[in-house]
Amino acid sequence: MINLPSEIRTPRIGAKSGRDARAPRLSHVRPYDQFTRWLRSGNASMARTVAQRLAARITSLAEDLLGQPGLKNARTWRYGRRGSLSINVAGPRQGHWFSFEENKGGDALDLVAFVRGDSLRDALAFARAWLGGV
């Protein structure tokens, strides 16, 4: 059996009492909930604006975060092993990216969070500074 923390362990079938009978506690979700509340309080439009401005400057952002791409064409730049990280640098999806290794993707703000390993809030702060204080 894999050792999981007790707060994410699911109850055993047939358990009637004790620690395993309780519903799992999800206390580790709180920071995300706080950020979600922060976004819903009117900051979502600011995050959207920052993401759009990053998308407009995606080539310089990608070079600053990742260096020169391994493969380059008119619409996409590829990084990583065998071009597993694809960034759209032109066209209708400019600023969007996808990592085939991690099976994750998103907009330019998500790219900052992904590459730097930051939370979305920290990525937003970095992006605002990088853009010159949006």
CA distances from 77 to 62, 117, 119, 120 (A): 9, 20, 24, 23
* Residue 83 placed within a domain: yes
* Residue 30 placed within a domain: no
* Residue 101 placed within a domain: yes
**pLDDT (tens digit per residue) in 82-100:** 888 999 999 999 999 999 9
Residue-level pLDDT at 15: 46
* Residue 52 placed within a domain: yes
Residue-level pLDDT at 43: 67
* Residue 27 placed within a domain: no
33-37, 74-78, 128-132: range with lowest mean pLDDT:
33-37
119, pLDDT greater than 60: yes
Q: How many structural domains are present in the chain?
A: 1
Residue-level pLDDT at 1: 44
What residue type is 101 in one-letter code?
Answer: E
CATH number of the structural domain spanning residue 108: 3.90.580.10
The boundaries of the domain holding residue 77 are 44-131
